[in-house]
Amino acid sequence: MGWREWFGFPKPRDAPRLPEVTDNVRDSGSLFVFGTANSGERVDEKSAMQIATVYACVRLLAESVACLPLHLYQLDGEDGKLKAKDHPLYKILYRQANPEMTSFSFWEVMMTHLLLWGNAYAQIVRDGKNGILGLYPLLPENVEMDRENGGELYYIYHAYTDEVPGETNKDILFRREEVLHIPGMGFNGLVGFSPIAMMKNALGTTLAVERYGSSFFKNGAQPSGVLEHPGVLKNPEKIRENWSTVYGGANNAHKVAVLEEGMHYKPISLPPEDSQFLSTREFGVEEICRIFRVPPHMVQDLKRSTYNNIEHQSIDFVVHTLAPWLTRIEQAIIKDLLLEEEQAQYFPKFNVDGLLRGDYKSRMEGYAIGFANGFLSPNDIRRLENMDPIPEEQGGNVYVANGSYVKLKDIGAAYSLNQPQPSETEQTDTAEEKQEPEKQPEEETNNSEKKRRRSEKGRRKGR
């Protein structure tokens, strides 16, 4: 009995015949496939993961995404938001994707599928009210995507194992609303391409170099030189076998050789094709880091990292490497897990604040600027540092700002307001003084006219 029977659901996805394929959605996912590279090495997801740098990059990205808190938020007003803890999807995204997997395990698997196959699929288990009960990862190599006659997308899952109880070796048909699909980079926006398949020639070269190195250390019987015998050996094959047994292989490297019968030790240099071996391996590390867009220092390649730039490289990893993957996941959750009427009110969001934090000194300087400019309270800062809040009566939620900043249009307004205002008597005297100058020109004209007349009379009397 399958899981749907346990929940009392019918099995509408099981059909006697699959819909007719009407477009090339299925073919678009097979443009880049696993196979033999130009170096002759076969490259697939399993052989690629045997390369140390590939394993380190996939593990780093998968664990980095899985450890980030993923919350479901509900819009509150115009710009506010609240955690939608009452929504059934909140627990599935943040705590437990299904009864068998934690959210960390689930997102780690989904990211691993994305990085190796270019697509991540998960079966959506819903109840009778269309609510989500759980998410179960599906192996991407067993999933095919097509479009039916009516234009609706559907998924075919080849259950070749017992991962689905009671449905072994069967093709299971899933409707679009039954699958969470996170596509990677592709040409049609529906199916992503595998980074491993696209870069199989580069990875094939790395595999060939590692195979050459393994053969070199396995078969190399050269402590650091060769032996020369002055005469003719009766049984050189026996000496060669004894030499290989004692000094051959990596475990016997640099052992002290015992020389007999006049044999001489002649040091030899490493051939040029062998001296390039380490350089080729180092270039393979850079090439793989370039494929996954991972800073080399995060996979323990510290040749070009210093204490001055390693912090900025880590921040660059979050901004330019993790952010696109997180956006893909968030938008896929909105598209496939939220109902159409919920998409305007709810949205998921990864919290990357912890990864973007600088060192202690940089954080404290940033908090001081935020507090002085009024957009951080003491409790806001303490929450960012995972500290207990200060009670509100002690000023934990107080916002303060530096009062010396004024708008350009208000420059000088404060000076005018601070000047002393004149009394009523001073205002009256000032008003009279302002009126006197208006009469003064007329009075001066009359006085000068009188003086002129007096002087005229005086001159006449003198005659």
Q: Using CA atoms, how far apart are residues 294 and 320, in angstroms rounded to an integer?
A: 9
34 pLDDT more than 80: no
More confident residue, 461 or 69: 69
Residue found under tokens 């170099």? 209
User: Read out DSSP for 310-377?
Assistant: HHHHHHHIIIIIIHHHHHHHHHHHHHHTS-TTTTTTEEEEE--HHHH---HHHHHHHHHHHHHTTS--
Q: Can you read off the two tokens belonging to residue 84?
A: 């939608």
Q: What is the pLDDT of residues 105-119, one digit of tens each?
A: 999 999 999 999 999
Q: What is the pLDDT of residues 122-139, one digit of tens each?
A: 999 988 888 899 999 999
Q: Can you read off the two tokens belonging to residue 324?
A: 């696109």
Neighbours of 133 (CB within 10 A): 14
Q: Can you read off the two tokens belonging to residue 35?
A: 């196979």
More confident residue, 68 or 279: 68
Q: What is the pLDDT of residues 217-233, one digit of tens each?
A: 666 545 556 667 777 77
User: What is the torsional sign of CA 443, 448, 449, 450?
Assistant: positive
367 φ/ψ sector (left φ>0, alpha ψ -120 to 50, else beta): alpha
The whole-number pLDDT of residue 72 equals: 94
Domain locations in the chain as residue ranges: 1-222+270-356, 224-267
Q: Using CA atoms, how far apart are residues 66 and 180, in angstroms rounded to an integer?
A: 17
323 φ/ψ sector (left φ>0, alpha ψ -120 to 50, else beta): alpha
Q: What is the pLDDT of residues 178-192, one digit of tens each?
A: 999 999 988 888 888
Contact 220, 376 (CB under 8 A): no
DSSP category for residue 300: T
209 pLDDT more than 70: yes
Q: Using CA atoms, how far apart are residues 342 and 30, in angstroms rounded to an integer?
A: 35
| Range in 40-44, 93-97, 133-137, 226-230 with the lowest mean pLDDT | 226-230
pTM of the model: 0.66
